[in-house]
Amino acid sequence: MSALTSFFEKLGPEMLERTYEHVYLVFLAMIIAIIIALPLGIYLARSRWAKLTSAIMGAAGVVQTVPSLALIAFIVLVFALIALPTIGTLPALVALVLYALLPILRNTYTGIRQVDPSIIEVATGMGMKPHQILFSVELPLSLPVIMAGIRISTVWTIGIGTLCGLIGAGGLGDLIIKGLRSIQMDYLLAGTVPAAALALIFDWILACLEKLLTPEGLKYRAGSEV
């Protein structure tokens, strides 16, 4: 018991501060990623420009295949070349946003694409305008898929966020790196456990949100009785 107390006495304040930094970084990255990926996914799903669509989806897919460590390194190098800050929040944020884009983009795109075309046609045939179809048919019907994308993206970003400690962006990665360099288990744990806990908590919160946002009518299987 006293070991735990001394652990918190020693690392508690720093843990809290790093966790705060981490959440802040992830939150900001997610907001930016959603702002970019959601409208882009909607646009691509509705556009008939097949080449553009496959180019963008392909590019986002390529980013995903680059190891996260390498991606961060690349960004630092590129930032150095164009004389932008190579240390701190900005390069870290760019890396996280790039990583977070794909699951949201892909799920938004496929979510809207999987809406039955005959439903869109009947909506058109009844005299709905394109934006009315988007907001009252396509988005509600693809919301569960879109939310799943945001959820995956958030959990990834929390994990990858620890790497941002390497370039001085703070966060829980700082503690992990400190633990690694000084071979101190308590630092390592002080970084890892909150990161894992954050991932679980956010996953749970977003799962609840997903359930809440799923239209009630989609929760019934076809033909089932009340």
Per-residue mark of binding to other proteins, 136-175 (x: CB under 8 A): -x--xx----------------------------------
Which listed residue (48, 51, 129, 181) binds other proteins by CB under 8 A?
129
Residue 136 carries which DSSP code?
A: I
Could you say which DSSP state residue 114 is in? T
Nearer to other proteins, 17 or 116 (CB): 116
Q: Which of residues 52, 69, 87, 119 is near other proteins by CB under 8 A?
A: 119
The residue within the footprint of other proteins, chosen from 123, 163, 176, 199 (CB under 8 A), is 123
Cα–Cα distance measured from residue 30 to residue 128, given in angstroms and rounded to the nearest whole number: 32
Encode burial over 146-184: b for 16+ CB neighbours within 10 A, e otherwise: bbbbbbbbbbbbbbbbbbbbbbebbbbbbbbbbbeeeee
Binding mask of the shown chain, residues 76 to 115, with x at each position contacting other proteins by CB under 8 A:
----------------------------------------
Q: How far is the CB of 42 from other proteins (least distance, A)?
A: 17
What is the C-alpha to C-alpha distance for residues 104 and 199, in angstroms, rounded to an integer?
A: 17
Residues 6+ apart with CB under 8 A from 7: 186, 190
Q: Which residues bind other proteins (CB under 8 A)?
A: 116, 118-119, 121-129, 132, 137, 140-141, 215-218, 220-226
